């Protein structure tokens, strides 16, 4: 299995592939993240990558592993 890319590595790859500076690539990634946070309440779809949807789930009972 391959290693996960860090934000810096992702920005560097994006900058190389698109032909922009690394600083511009970081700015683009940050803007996409900002849009995702802002619109996640409805549904945020990034075509070709995926879809973010907030799901309300029932609370679960926690258990302390030390005491059982």
Domain boundaries in the chain? 7-52
Q: What is the pLDDT of residue 20?
A: 95
Mind listing the pLDDT tens digit for each residue in 33-54?
A: 999 888 888 888 989 989 988 8
Mind listing the pLDDT tens digit for each residue in 11-37?
A: 999 999 999 999 999 999 999 999 988
Q: What is the pLDDT of residue 48?
A: 92
Q: What is the pLDDT of residue 22?
A: 95
Assessment of whether the complete model's pTM goes beyond 0.85: no
SS3 assignment for the chain: CCCCCCHHHHHHHHHHHHCCCHHHHHHHHHHHHHHHHHHCCCCEEECCCEEECCCCCCCCCCCCCCCC
Q: What is the pLDDT of residue 1?
A: 62
Q: Residues 1, 47, 16, CA angle at the centre, nearest 5°?
A: 60
């Amino acid at each position: 299995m391959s290693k996960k890319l860090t934000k810096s590595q992702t920005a560097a790859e994006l900058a190389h592939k698109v032909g922009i500076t690394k600083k511009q690539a970081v700015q683009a990634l940050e803007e996409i993240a900002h849009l995702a946070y802002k619109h996640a309440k409805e549904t945020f779809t990034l075509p070709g990558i995926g879809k973010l949807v907030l799901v309300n789930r029932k609370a679960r009972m926690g258990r302390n592993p030390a005491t059982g």
